[in-house]
């Protein structure tokens, strides 16, 4: 894969400007007027009007990102006047760029994005996800929105883990009248699940707990598990608590693990959340489930709470004949053989997303910087050639553009092959 330096749009623009011989990177020496129409820089020309017509681009302070043209320049005071006021007063030590009149920086931004668009389908921004979990009977999964294509599907064939609570029995250490508990052997992910029918009088902070045999999870990094609700839960609506004494439902508990939002109502959601204090979790004996926020009448299921060491996982590839993509629904579909091979295991997707367009100076490039710089330079030269009538001058610009075109092709040849990629849509 070609090196990706992840330059910002500003850094790409400067490199393109130097290729074109069209840019100077400068800094003000004192503040301009309060209306934001002037800037002062003694490194500029001593002659009146020499800087007129150039493009001024602010790159720091309150005027960062402003693009203006210079309407007047006084060489005696090295003071430039902008045709349209900047968004604020141009202060001392503000960095800025001056571009030759024939190269509009806003057009350079378009050329950068054009280069990225042209690379789409030939290169991807690498993506990996462990958000999906097979269960031995589900064949269709929503592909995370970050993927434009998937090259490989793996299942987690091994990991260091300990069961914290299998959710096959009631939580009877500390109970709450608003929580009616049922062991659900029909709606579950592994064995059976804990079903909580929660009354309307429940309040934020109400919880139940269960005692467990002393468990050392200090070597582990995350808590994994399943939950669902008839009414969609927001992030941190439910909290899992762990402690080396009876869970108290306050800050004394060793672990207070906020669960993410459920993906949809009546839909099982697999979660993986980092442990906050694993080094202290050497003798966990109590597990709590707390309705932490937005408490209301609801029915919530929990299943298979497990502590895992994420980096200990081993992954086995799922044979390509056992999975496909539904382009219309953006779903991963396993064949029956794939369902059986994956079993009850976490899935890992490997692939990539379409490279993002750059919308501000701070946004970073997700593909090869060299390619973007070369292609944008070529486009700028061709645009410059289109604006001149002199045949020799036009030919010179087009000749330079052709040289860059050859370099662009060499850069594209470095793109990794996407032969194994299956496109989501």
What pairing do the DSSP bridges indicate for beta strands 125-133 and 255-258? unpaired
The first and second tokens of residue 371, run together, are 């390619």
Q: Looking at residue 174, what is its pLDDT?
A: 97
Same domain, 294 and 191: yes
Which residue, of 331, 353, 375, is where some domain finishes? 353
Which residue, of 279, 312, 345, is where some domain finishes? 312
Residue 8 lies in a domain: no
| Residue 4 reports pLDDT greater than 90 | no
| Residue 416 reports pLDDT greater than 90 | no
Q: CB count, 10 Å around CB of 413?
A: 9
Q: Looking at residue 2, what is its pLDDT?
A: 45
Same domain, 208 and 268: yes
Residue 15 lies in a domain: no
Same domain, 110 and 129: no
Residue 18 lies in a domain: no
**Do 274 and 161 touch, CB atoms closer than 8 A?**
no
Same domain, 49 and 69: yes
| Residue 5 reports pLDDT greater than 90 | no
pTM for this prediction: 0.83
Same domain, 47 and 130: no
* Rounded (10°) CA dihedral 85, 86, 88, 92: -110
Q: Looking at residue 292, what is its pLDDT?
A: 98
pLDDT in tens, 309-363: 999 999 999 999 999 999 999 999 999 999 999 999 999 999 999 999 999 999 9
Same domain, 94 and 187: no
Residue 416 lies in a domain: yes
Residue 407 lies in a domain: yes
Same domain, 75 and 131: no
Query: Which letter does DSSP use for residue 14 in this model?
Result: H
Same domain, 155 and 118: no
Same domain, 285 and 336: no
The first and second tokens of residue 381, run together, are 């030269």
Q: What domain range is 254 assigned to? A: 161-312
With cut-offs at 50, 70 and 90, classify the pLDDT of residue 1: very low
Query: Which letter does DSSP use for residue 354 in this model?
Result: P
Spatial neighbors of 99 by CB under 8 A, at least 6 apart, are 17, 22, 23, 54, 55, 57, 105
* pLDDT averaged over every residue in the chain: 96
Residue 280 lies in a domain: yes
| Residue 406 reports pLDDT greater than 90 | yes
Same domain, 184 and 301: yes
Q: How many domains does the chain contain in total? A: 4
Cα–Cα dist 395/385, whole Å: 8
Which residue, of 338, 353, 368, is where some domain finishes? 353
Same domain, 81 and 168: no
Q: Looking at residue 418, what is its pLDDT?
A: 86
Cα–Cα dist 361/125, whole Å: 19
Cα–Cα dist 86/56, whole Å: 10
What average pLDDT does the segment 131-144 reach?
A: 96
pLDDT in tens, 235-271: 999 999 999 999 999 999 999 999 999 999 999 999 9
Cα–Cα dist 293/239, whole Å: 9
Residue 365 lies in a domain: yes
Closest among 52, 75, 109 to 358, alpha carbons compared: 109
**Do 196 and 301 touch, CB atoms closer than 8 A?**
yes
| Residue 164 reports pLDDT greater than 60 | yes
Residue 248 in 3-state DSSP? Answer: coil
Q: CB count, 10 Å around CB of 391?
A: 8
pLDDT in tens, 187-211: 999 999 999 999 999 999 999 999 9
**Do 375 and 416 touch, CB atoms closer than 8 A?**
no
Same domain, 201 and 235: yes
**Do 375 and 408 touch, CB atoms closer than 8 A?**
yes
pLDDT in tens, 200-241: 999 999 999 999 999 999 999 999 999 999 999 999 999 999
Residue 297 lies in a domain: yes
With cut-offs at 50, 70 and 90, classify the pLDDT of residue 128: very high
Could you tell me the sign of the dihedral formed by the alpha carbons of 59, 62, 65, 71, in that order? negative
Share of the chain above pLDDT 90, in %: 96
CATH number of the domain that 305 lies in? 2.60.120.260
Find tokens 């979790």 and name the residue: 281
């Amino acid at each position: 894969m070609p090196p990706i330096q992840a330059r910002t749009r500003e850094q790409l623009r400067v490199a393109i400007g130097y290729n074109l011989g069209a840019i100077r990177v400068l800094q003000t020496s004192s503040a301009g007027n309060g209306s934001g129409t002037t800037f002062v820089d003694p490194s500029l020309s001593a002659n009146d009007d020499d800087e007129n017509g150039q493009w001024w681009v602010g790159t720091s302070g309150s005027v960062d990102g402003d693009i203006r043209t210079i309407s007047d320049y006084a060489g005696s005071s090295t003071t430039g006047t902008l045709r349209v006021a900047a968004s604020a007063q141009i202060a001392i030590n503000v960095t800025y760029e001056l571009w030759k009149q024939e190269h509009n920086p806003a057009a350079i931004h378009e050329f950068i994005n054009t280069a990225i668009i042209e690379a789409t389908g030939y290169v991807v921004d690498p993506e990996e996800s462990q958000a999906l979990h097979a269960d031995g009977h589900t064949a269709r999964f929503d592909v995370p929105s970050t993927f434009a294509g998937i090259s490989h599907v793996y299942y987690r064939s091994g990991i260091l883990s300990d069961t914290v609570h299998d959710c096959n029995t009631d939580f009877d250490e500390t109970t709450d009248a608003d929580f009616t508990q049922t062991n659900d052997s029909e709606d579950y992910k592994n064995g059976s699940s804990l079903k909580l029918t929660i009354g309307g009088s429940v309040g934020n902070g109400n919880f139940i707990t269960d005692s467990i045999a002393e468990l050392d999870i200090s070597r582990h990094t995350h808590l994994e598990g399943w939950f669902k609700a008839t009414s969609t839960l927001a992030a941190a609506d439910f909290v899992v608590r762990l402690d080396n004494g009876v869970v108290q439902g306050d800050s004394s508990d060793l672990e207070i693990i906020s669960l993410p939002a459920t993906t949809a109502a009546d839909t099982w959601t697999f979660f993986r959340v980092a442990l906050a204090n694993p080094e202290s979790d050497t003798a966990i004996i109590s597990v709590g489930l707390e309705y932490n926020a937005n408490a209301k009448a609801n029915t919530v299921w929990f299943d298979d709470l497990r502590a895992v060491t994420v980096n200990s996982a081993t992954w086995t590839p799922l044979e390509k004949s056992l999975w496909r993509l539904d382009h219309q629904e953006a779903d991963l579909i396993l064949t029956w053989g794939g369902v059986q091979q994956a079993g009850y295991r976490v899935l890992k997707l490997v692939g990539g997303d379409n490279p993002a367009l750059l919308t501000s100076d701070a946004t970073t490039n997700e593909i090869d910087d060299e390619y973007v710089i070369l292609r944008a330079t070529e486009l700028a030269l061709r645009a410059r050639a289109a604006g001149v009538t002199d045949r020799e001058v036009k030919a010179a610009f087009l000749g330079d553009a052709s040289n860059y075109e050859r370099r662009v092709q060499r850069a594209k040849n470095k793109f990794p092959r996407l032969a194994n990629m299956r496109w989501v849509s």
